[in-house]
Structure 1
């Protein structure tokens, strides 16, 4: 079985998203989420904060 990606990369090594990329991701997630709870869950999974302004 191949290793999990979390086993290969430490959190500190991951680059943060550019502000414009995160803003675009928030817009797409918000457009396709079925409700606010799902939207917040997807934001969390993507590592983008829901409260940040564009």
Structure 2
């Protein structure tokens, strides 16, 4: 049986929730610990929407 798919790919902004800085920081550490390399880590962080910002 094929997996169910949907054409809906856009999530309205009102359905998105932001996470607290502390939660995002902890999630980044977990992702970094389990990623196989830096490229995978960057990709996963971006996919999860918790990539660190460049604040210089």
Which bracket does the TM-score occupy, shorter chain normalised? 0.7 to 0.9
Query: Whose helix fraction is larger, Structure 1's or Structure 2's?
Result: 1
Count of paired positions = 50
- Using structure 1 for the length normalisation, give the TM-score: 0.73
- RMSD after superposition: 2.2
Gaps in structure 1 of 5+ consecutive residues:
none
Give runs of ≥4 in structure 1 deviating > 4 Å.
none
- Using structure 2 for the length normalisation, give the TM-score: 0.71
Structure with higher RCO (Cα < 8 A, 6+ apart) = 1
